[in-house]
Amino acid sequence: MKIYEKNNCAPLIEHTFASREKELSAVRAILADVRSRGDEAVFDCERKFDDTELTAENFRVSDEEIAAAYAAVPDELLASLKRAIENIYSYHARAGRKDNVVTQAGVTTGYVVRPVSSAGIYAPGGTAPLSSSVLMGVLPARAAGVERIVLATPAKGGVIAPLTLVAAAECGVSEIYKMGGAQAIAALAYGTQSVKKVDVIAGPGNIYVTLAKKEVYGEVGIDMLAGPSEIMIVADEGAEPAFVAADMLSQAEHDVLARAILVTTSRVLAEKVAAQVKAQLAALSRREIAAKALEEGGGLIVVNSLEEACALANEVAPEHLELYTREPEALLPFIRNAGAVFLGGWTPEPVGDYFAGPDHILPTSGSAKFFQVLNEDVFTRKMSVISYTREALERDGADIIRLAESEQLTAHANAVAVRMKEGS
C-alpha cells in the first residue's frame, strides 16, 4: 500500500468514481418498464439478472420457505442473531417518538410525530448475502411504529440465504419478495399487481439500487444514497498495527470500489500496517476483492498532528471513522462529518456492523456532510400543530394582515381581517 504525506494525499482524499450515465440509462428503462407492466417486468429482470424464474405464486416468500430456512440455521447462530436483534431494537426504541407542543399567551404551536404507514427495506444479496442489513433496516422501522414493513432481497437462482429469511422472521417481517436491483426499488415505489407501494424505502445496495432510489425520490421517501463501503482510521503511534490492518481489510473485502484509509502521526506505524495488510490478505476468502479495493481506493497518510488528522476526516466525511488513539474521546468534539465513529482499539468496525445497536446503514462518499445514519426518524413525520385563541388572533392579526398584503395576497389578509371584524 502506498504511503502519502499530508501535502500529496489529494489523489486519495479526492477519490471520485467514474460517470454512471450507462447505469443510469439502464435504471431508468427498468423503472419505466416496472411502472408500466408491474409483476411481469420484475419477473423478466429477475430471470435476466439473477437467473430466477418467478411467477405470481412463488414471488412472495412462503411460510414453508421460512420454516425450511429455520431448519438450515444452526442453533448457536440463531442465538447470536437473537441477541443482536435485542441490542439493535433496544437501541432504536430508546429514542422514543416525542411530540413537542407548547401553549403560551393563547397560542399553541409545536409538532406531533407519526410513523409512516409502510416501509420497504432492501437487503443486498449479491456478492455476499447480508442478513445483518435486514436487522439494520427493519428494526428502526419497527421502533418507529411502522405497521407494514416489506422486505425485498435477491433470490439468486431462486434461493434466498436461509439466515436472511430467518432474520426477517425474527424481526417480525412476513411480507418478503424475491427481487433485487432497480426492479425491486421500482416495485416498492410504484407498486405492482403483487406488491403494494410503500411510503419510504431504506437499505443499502449496488449502484443500480442507489440510482433507482435517487430516481424514485419524491414518489416515495428514501433514507440516503449510499455507495461503496469505506473506512478511515485515525491512529497514533500507540495503535496495534495488526488491529489497524484487520480493520482496513474488513471494509476492503466488501467491494472492489470500497475505500480504506489510515491517517496517522507515525510513519513507523504506517509501514507496519502496510506489512500487516499484505500478510493478512493471504488468509482472506475474498482476498482478490480486498486487494483490488486497497490498490485503487486504499492508502496510508502521515500527518503532523491529530488536529490535521481530524481535519482530513471532516473533509472526507467517511462512512466509518475509527479513532484509535490513546485518548479517542478527546478527539470526538473535533469530528463533524462521519457516518459512525468508533472509539478506541477494542471497538473494531464489525461490532457496529452486527451487534452493538447503532445502525450500520450509513452515508458514504462524503454524503455524511448532509445525510445521517439510518434511524427511526427516517420512518416518522413531524406534523405541525397550531391553535390560536380569539384573543391571540386579535393581538397578532394586524401583523399578519400587514405581511400578507406586502405579498399582494389579499385573500390571505382577508381570512384574518374577517375574523377581526367579527370580533369587534
Catalytic residues: 319-320
> Position of cell 500496517?
273
Contact criterion met (CB below 8 Å) for 25 and 318: no
Q: Which three three-digit cell numbers place residue 148?
A: 407494514
Neighbours of 287 (CB within 10 A): 15
Q: Which three three-digit cell numbers place residue 261?
A: 484509509
| Rounded CA separation 103/89 (Å) | 34
Cα–Cα–Cα angle for 139, 46, 58, rounded to 5 degrees: 70
Nearest to 367 by CA among 231, 224, 268: 224
* N-term to C-term CA, the chain: 80
Helix axes 390-406, 410-423, angle to 10 degrees: 150
Neighbours of 259 (CB within 10 A): 29
Amino acid at 14: E
Residues counted in the chain? 424
Contact criterion met (CB below 8 Å) for 149 and 172: yes
Amino acid at 207: I
Neighbours of 288 (CB within 10 A): 12
